[in-house]
Structure formats: C-alpha cells, structure tokens
Structure 1
Amino acid sequence: MIKFGFIFLISYQLCFSASACARAEYEVNGECCPMCAPGNRVYWHCTIDTSTTCVPCPPSTYTDEPNGLNKCLLCTVCNAVQGLRVKRSCARTADTVCEPLEGFYCIEQNKGSCGFAVKHNECHPGQYIRRAGTALTDTVCGNCSEGTYSNGSFITCQPHSKCETKGLAEIKPGTVSTDAECGSSAPIGIIAGATVTAGVVLVTLGVSSLFYYKIKHRRPTNEMDNNYTLPIQECGSMQSQCDTETTSPDSGIPLISSSKSPEMDRQSAQVVSLPLS
C-alpha cells in the first residue's frame, strides 16, 4: 500500500512538471511554446517540429514584455481634454508616456505615465502662492496679513506703498488685494496762494472788461447836447400862428413850445437847453 502511494506521487509530479511551462514560454493546446520578444507578436504558434514564429508590431502598436499574443497592444493617446500631453512617443517596445499639461497635475498614474490630470488651484486676490503646483501636486495658497496685499499671482504678499515717504498723498488706502494709491500733492499754503492769485486776476480782468465796454459804448457829450438842444423857430410877421414843439429823440415827449405871439419871435431867437437827467 505504501509502495503504491509512492508511485502515485512520483507520477503526479512528472505530469505536473510536463504541463507547466517555463517563464519565457506560453501554453497552447497543452504545448509550451517560446514567447515572442518585446516589440513582436506571435504569427504562428509552435509545433512539435517548429518553434514559435514572431513578427514585429505594426505602427501605433507595441508589446513591452515577452508575450504569446496574436495582436500587439494599441498605443495610448495623450488627450488634451484629459489635461495630458505627450512626454515620450509610442514605440514598438514601449507605450506612449503622457504627462500633465502646463498648469495641471496628475491624479492617475500607470507605469510612469499619467492617465488623467486636473488644473492647478488658482489663488484668489488677497492670497499668495505658498507652494507652487507641480506635475504631481496641486498649488497651495495662503492668506495675506494686514498691511500687505497680493493679486493672487504673488509668491509672497507685498507691503502697501508708503505714499508719505515718497512725498505724495494717499488717494486710496491699500487692501489685502490691492496696493495703496498715491497721487501728487502740494503744500496747503501754495494751493491757497494760487487760489487767491487766480481770484484777483479774474476780478481784475472783469473790471477792466466792464470799463472798456462802457467807454466804447458811451455817447459823446456834444452829440447828446445837440440831441437835447433845439432852437425856437422865428415866425414871420405875416404868420398868424407859429407853433414849434421840440421833443426828446429818445422819449418822444415835447420839451418846449414856442410862443404864438409874433412879437416875441421877432425879438430874438432863443436857444433853450434842457439839462440832462
């Protein structure tokens, strides 16, 4: 009985050894065939009389390990939609190696190639870049403290500008996201003096213009006297009645009437001058 068991064990080991293929072999129909080298595929499987027939992989395909495949593997495409670009092109013996686009980092990797990437976090105004993102890590942001600012793209927060040290006036105070705004300024005494001087010049010009206007449009004295001085006409001796009315050229109101008596007219011609009102 013991002898029969020993014989069975030996027979089992021999059968198992015959059916198990070596590391560089693959099994087909119970036979162990040699594998094809990387960059190749199986064209014909081995037989009792022949070894495995292999052929190179066609373009855009590869095998990167010894294999017993009938078809080569398709090369990976680095898709920009997935945040990827080509780091190393595909070859017969190696697949394409992808890497994240600029400003992206990888979240899925396989055999040293990135399978998917996402965009780096962007720091907001009032934050600075504490640690810049890489192809494998995201950006880390920090908050600015009081008296400093950053627009989100600075690696450190910058102190607000001191306008007084530049001899300028502060127009707008700084915030955590913006710098202080400075503007040109002048001493108060100079500003007040300039204002007073400008006022005096304007008043002087106004008075001069008014004086010039009055002189230019004033009516001469002789002309005014002639307009308001009218003679009394002398009536002849045969004239029974002589009436002369003198009116103001401007108002049309009678100023003087001559006497209806011929005797007064013959004495002398009188000139009546009305005083100017």
Structure 2
Amino acid sequence: MFLLRTIISTIAVIIASNFELSFCGCARAEYEIDGKCCPICAPGYHVYWHCTADTSTTCFPCPQSTYTDEPNRLTECFSCTVCDTVQHLKDKKDCTRSADTICEPQEGFHCIKLNKASCALAVEHTECKPGQYIKQTGTAFTDTVCAGCTDGTYSNGSLTACLPHSKCETMGLTEMKPGTSSSDAECEKVTSVGLIVGVTIVLVAVVTVAIISAYIIYRKHKASRSKKSGECRTPREATEDDETVSEYLNSSLLTQSNISNMIVIGSTLL
C-alpha cells in the first residue's frame, strides 16, 4: 500500500510540473520579458518596443549596413561584415537586411577559415618549384598540388605537365648540356674538324691561284712592253706599267671583294 501511494504521488508531481510549464512557458515564436511572452521579430528586423499587456512587439527594419539573419529579440541589428583586403578577401555577395556579407578569397588565394558560408581568412596558393609541375590547380577552398617530374622530363614550376627533354641527335645537333628536371637539354650545331680543314685548304688554294695568276699576267705584260719599247723606260712609261699592273690586279681573283666573298662562303660552310 505504501509503495502504491509513493508511485501515485510521483506521477502527480510530474503531471503538475508539466502542466505548469506548458501553462506558464512562452511559445516557440515568443520570448519572455518582465513576465510577459512577446512575439519575436523576423529576420531583417529588430525589437523597437517590447510588447505590453495591450500591444504586441514593435519590430523595426535593420538600418543600412546592418542585418539579422534569424528570428530574434534583439534591440539592435548586427553590423555587416567588411571583406578585409589585408586578409586577401573580396565581396562575393553584398550584405542585406536579412543576410551578412559573403566574402571569398582573392585570385591566387584559398580560404583557410570559414564563418558560416563566408571566408574569414585566406592564404596564397603554393607555387610549384622548378622540377615540379602543377598536378592540381588551386581553387578558392583548396591549395595547389605539386608533383615532381620523372626522369627525362622537365618543368620550370609553372607547367601543368612536364615536357620531355629535346633529343639533339634526332635534330642533327650535338648535346652540349644534358637536361635536368628543371631545364631542357641544350643543343648546338658543331662542325667537324675535317670540314674545317677542308674549307681552309680550299680558301688557301684559291688565294694562291689568284696571286700566281696575277703575277703571270704581270710578267707577260712586262715582257710585251719591253719588246716594244726596249730595255730603257722613261719615268712616264714606268708609271704606265704600274697602272697596268694595278688594272690586272683589280681584274684578277685577288680583289678585296672576291676575298670577302670567299670568307663568307667558308663561314657558311662552317
């Protein structure tokens, strides 16, 4: 009997407590102030006057550059967030009376701290080093992913894929410096020693023939003049002979123009 009475008393206390709470507590869309339950304000508004026994809550729109994003009992709205350029942020969506500003990272940066849907702090994307390529490009919320080049390829760090080293032999060139993971092979056109010697011999032979030809022409002309005028020559005749020799030399292969042409041809061959 005692046990039954105890159980009944406990149940009665629980029922009474729940009844009191349901009777005295404010509804979900209300707030309690001075023993009264007042209606809350909608997002974008704040409480201007609390309710009284005869009037409901007076809500007022949030002033410019302020907001409330949830039903509230606030007497003042929150200040809109300003996207800080020092934190490498920029506006993605402007602030409204019912929603705060949404910030996002500047170009080349990614977010490392979020406040709801807005970025609060951003850092610069990682730059890949020479010998690495960009495996995954950085986004507003992820950093750049770098990876190393494999043997036989190279990258300066700005490529999205490594490039193969140049094959100098296939281009008819000689490899002067082998490629590395960060630079291409260096190729150069190299002339063989045999070709250099051959071209040099040809040039010497041409110059020699030109000199001999000029000398033979000169001797023939001199002999011809001697037969016509005798062994003795006047100063005037000597001068004429010198002018004739000069004409032969100018008309021969041994001229400055011809020698320059031979040098150019030899350089081209080398």
Residues 5 and 222 (structure 1), Cα distance of their counterparts in 2 relative to 1, 3 Å cut: closer
Secondary structure of the residue aligned to 1:108 is strand
- Matching residue of 2:63: 58
Secondary structure of the residue aligned to 1:165 is helix
Q: How does 1:166-177 map to 2 (within 5 A)?
A: 166-177=171-182
Residues 163 and 31 (structure 1), Cα distance of their counterparts in 2 relative to 1, 3 Å cut: same
Q: How far is 1:70 from its partner?
A: 0.6
- Matching residue of 2:95: 90
Aligned partner of 1:95: which letter? D
Aligned partner of 1:137: which letter? T
Q: Deviations over 1:136-187 (max 9, x none)?
A: 2211111112211001111111100112222233333211101112334445
- Matching residue of 1:147: 152
Aligned partner of 1:73: which letter? F
Does residue 52 of structure 2 align to residue 47 of structure 1?
yes
| Percent identity of paired positions between Structure 1 and Structure 2 | 56
- Matching residue of 1:180: 185
Secondary structure of the residue aligned to 1:78 is coil
Secondary structure of the residue aligned to 2:99 is coil
Q: Deviations over 1:71-90 (max 9, x none)?
A: 00111111122121111111
Secondary structure of the residue aligned to 1:170 is strand
- Matching residue of 2:32: 27
- Matching residue of 1:77: 82
Q: How does 1:93-242 map to 2 (within 5 A)?
A: 93-186=98-191, 188-199=193-204
Aligned partner of 1:59: which letter? Q
Aligned partner of 2:103: which letter? C
- Distance in 1 separating the partners of 2:25 and 2:189: 91
Which of the two has greater strand per residue?
1
Q: Decide which moves more: 138-147 or 17-26.
A: 17-26
Q: How far is 1:198 from its partner?
A: 4.2
Q: How far is 1:12 from its partner?
A: 3.8
Query: For the pair shown, which has the larger CA radius of gyration, 1 or 2?
Result: 1
Q: How far is 1:189 from its partner?
A: 4.4
Given the two structures, how large is their TM-score scaled by the length of structure 2? Answer: 0.68
Q: How many residues align?
A: 215
- Matching residue of 1:237: none
Which of the two has greater helix per residue?
2
- Matching residue of 2:266: none
Aligned partner of 2:155: which letter? S
Does residue 49 of structure 2 align to residue 38 of structure 1?
no
Q: Deviations over 1:228-266 (max 9, x none)?
A: xxxxxxxxxxxxxxxxxxxxxxxxxxxxxxxxxxxxxxx
Q: Deviations over 1:193-243 (max 9, x none)?
A: 3333445567789999xxxxxxxxxxxx999xxxxxxxxxxxxxxxxxxxx
Q: Over the residues paired in the alignment, what is the CA RMSD in angstroms?
A: 3.3
- Distance in 2 separating the partners of 1:71 and 1:199: 102
> Which structure 1 segments of 5+ residues have no match?
209-220, 224-277
Q: How far is 1:18 from its partner?
A: 3.9
Q: How far is 1:31 from its partner?
A: 1.3
Residues 47 and 167 (structure 1), Cα distance of their counterparts in 2 relative to 1, 3 Å cut: same
Q: In the alignment, is the contact (CA less than 8 A) between 1:19 and 1:30 conserved in 2?
A: no
